Structure 1
Amino acid sequence: MNQIRILVIFLALTATVAGASELEGAWELVSGEYVDPKGELIDYQAIEMKSLKVISGSHFSFTSMKGDEFWASGTGTYAFEQGNYTETLGYNSFGVKPGGTFSFKSKVEGEYWYNSRWEGDKRVEYEVWQRIK
């Protein structure tokens, strides 16, 4: 019985590491949209949103620009398991307290990474990232 428990724990840890390593590297935002505080859908290309995200085995960091102006930055830890990507913020420029989280339905297909964030049954953010070579 103990051998089965050890195997289950090992497989769970291996799955977590495999998912995390799939994201490791540098990513550039290529398209997306979000719902603003007024409830309007904003296309990232329309506002000239640019962003880079760097992911290590356990941490993420991003910086975003709106045109030539600074927009936002954040860093912290993340988890990527079973199609769910969750960022836990340590530091950020947009007023979320340390420990705040953002969770996305997520998938990687080739060099593209797709994220969608939901509040209830409403999608409030969608991102398409491309791995930087």
Structure 2
Amino acid sequence: MRIKYLLPVILISLVSCSAKDEKTNDSTPDIQGTWRLLSATTIENDRTQVTDFSGDLKMIKIINGTHFAFLKHSVKPNDSTSFDAGGGRFTFINDDYTEHLDYYKDKNWEGKTFKFKVTFDGDTLIQKGVEKVEKAKVNRVIIEKYIRQKP
């Protein structure tokens, strides 16, 4: 008689254990952590610009279970003109990484959604997508290369 009641409990337990997280699936690498930007390539109007972030300009992106934030600044003394920061919510499913920019100094960018494809090579993350913000007259492809920071 008890087996009759035990079977539904076992089935419910198995189903709940196999349910996948909305943000990722079992084959998706872990995107959570702190990432340091190595280089950024911008392609706009057939012009390509590559920015090296190994010198005076530094940027990190911090990603947790639901949100991301980025911070960029110059390490040169007395240079506060290069500071930039923003953040918001994100989703990450397979190789599709989507940022919903909720906070940014330029209000034209706030509330925008940016879709990227992400690939991993060991501790390196490469993010490629389009930044399009009509009010800011921005329409460009960006390719960013990050390295995972160790705790």
Identity over the aligned pairs, expressed in percent?
26
Unpaired runs of 5+ residues, structure 1, are: none
RMSD: 3.3
1:10, CA displacement in angstroms? 1.9
1:1-133 equivalent positions in 2, closer than 5 A: 10-11=19-20, 13=21, 16=24, 22-36=30-44, 39-45=46-52, 49-65=57-73, 68=76, 69-118=81-130, 124-133=141-150
1:16, CA displacement in angstroms? 1.8
CA distance in 2, matches of 1:15, 1:78: 8
CA distance in 2, matches of 1:73, 1:123: 19
CA distance in 1, matches of 2:26, 2:72: 27
Question: Are the aligned partners of 1:116 and 1:123 in contact in 2 as well (CA < 8 Å)?
Answer: no
Which TM-score applies when normalising by structure 2? Answer: 0.66
1:78, CA displacement in angstroms? 0.6
Which TM-score applies when normalising by structure 1? Answer: 0.73
Unpaired runs of 5+ residues, structure 2, are: 1-11, 132-138
The alignment partner of 2:30 has SS state of helix
